[in-house]
Chains A and B, each alone.
Chain A
């Protein structure tokens, strides 16, 4: 920008900080800031901090590149504002408006100072607009990033939640699988199963796939790998929860599960596992 170094903006902000701040706050209040989510005191403090950092940074005369070190402080501050607003439930527009609304009070002062000189005023407004747009976009970027972090964390939590290995009886483990069986889940599942086999010295593990909606060749391969790994650790696997439609599909696909004991329901698999471990179930007479 041709105005670098001679811009009036740094001077104006320095001399009239208090007025600009008051105008800006009024602007946001009038625009209907979400008072249910943010207290006026907090907003005032945020605005004050923003203005202070903005005034500091603008003294360097750099209007174009917010990546340079003098803008760092302001960017960090905006990042934390954006993060806290994301958590409070503001929309991206509302968050960006925090920065956009700064234009009005700034331009008003500019007009007062440069009213007669149309050419300079236009130049000043153009460079300021450009800068403020960049800062507002930055808040949106952080907003997006914060959301993505939340999603990523939830995915990880879900992954851990969904692979429990439970002990059904002495020497018998069960691994109920719910949802899609992809590579990452198979890895976690296999790890926790093998670990439990070592810990409990179990000889039978039942993998229940009642909650797996689609069994394709990749799912089958993952199951086969898990069964083989468990076998190497000295535990036999039974796969249960094979519904009629899944059974037919597996046959058409041509996947060979003949080496593995399979059962229709977890109950059947459990009875078989008990039998293999040498237990017998009998109903006591008093219960009849």
Chain B
């Protein structure tokens, strides 16, 4: 199964759309309820970050099939201000937006693979992968 979907994130209702799309694909891939919830929650966190800190962007949702294992890969991209100090941004409780400061670090714990690339002034790309 090769599936690929790009959703643009421009408003908070788009965050809901992203959640629904990710949940639907996770169900199709046969994810367990707990893994569904984890990847959907992670998607929700990152979509909101893309919207609030990145000034909007896109998410590429991709179903992975590598023979023995199946998974879901989400790539969030924005062309916002970027993150100057990644280490600090990934620390529990660090926030610039008045939130709890657990979104980025929490998402990292919810998924199997987590990759973040950010350049100040150019934007941020976060890739997360959850295997079934």
A positions within 8 Å CB-CB of B: 180, 182-183, 213-218, 220-221, 244-246, 248-249, 252-255
The CA-CA distance from A245 to B106 in the complex, in Å, is 15
Q: In whole Å, how far is A243's beta carbon from the nearest beta carbon of chain B?
A: 8
Partner of A253, one of B12, B40, B110: B110
Do A255 and B34 contact each other (CB < 8 Å), given the known contacts A214-B19, A216-B45, A249-B41? no
Q: In whole Å, how far is B31's beta carbon from the nearest beta carbon of chain A?
A: 11
Q: In whole Å, how far is B120's beta carbon from the nearest beta carbon of chain A?
A: 24
Which residues of the other chain, A, contact B38 by a CB distance below 8 angstroms?
Answer: 245, 248-249, 252
Q: List 30 A-B residue pairs with CB atoms under 8 Å apart, sorted by A's residue number.
A: A182-B12, A213-B19, A213-B40, A214-B19, A214-B37, A214-B41, A215-B41, A216-B41, A216-B44, A216-B45, A216-B48, A216-B103, A220-B100, A221-B100, A245-B33, A245-B36, A245-B38, A248-B34, A248-B37, A248-B38, A249-B38, A249-B110, A252-B106, A253-B41, A253-B45, A253-B103, A253-B110, A254-B92, A254-B102, A255-B102
> Which residue of A is nearest B36, CB measured?
A245
B109 touches A218 (CB 8 A): no
> Which residue of B is nearest A224, CB measured?
B100
Do A244 and B105 contact each other (CB < 8 Å), given the known contacts A214-B44, A220-B100, A254-B92? no
Interface residues on B, range: 20 to 34
Q: In whole Å, how far is B114's beta carbon from the nearest beta carbon of chain A?
A: 12
Which of A216, A218, A245, A246 is the most central at the interface, judged by chain B CB atoms within 10 Å of its CB? Answer: A216
B34 touches A244 (CB 8 A): yes
Total number of residue pairs linking A and B with CB closer than 8 Å: 65
Which residues of the other chain, B, contact A182 by a CB distance below 8 angstroms?
Answer: 12
Which residues of the other chain, A, contact B102 by a CB distance below 8 angstroms?
Answer: 217, 253-255
Which residues of the other chain, B, contact A248 by a CB distance below 8 angstroms?
Answer: 34, 37-38
The CA-CA distance from A54 to B42 in the complex, in Å, is 58
> Which residue of B is nearest A215, CB measured?
B41
The CA-CA distance from A244 to B34 in the complex, in Å, is 8
> Which residue of A is nearest B103, CB measured?
A217
Q: In whole Å, how far is A260's beta carbon from the nearest beta carbon of chain B?
A: 14
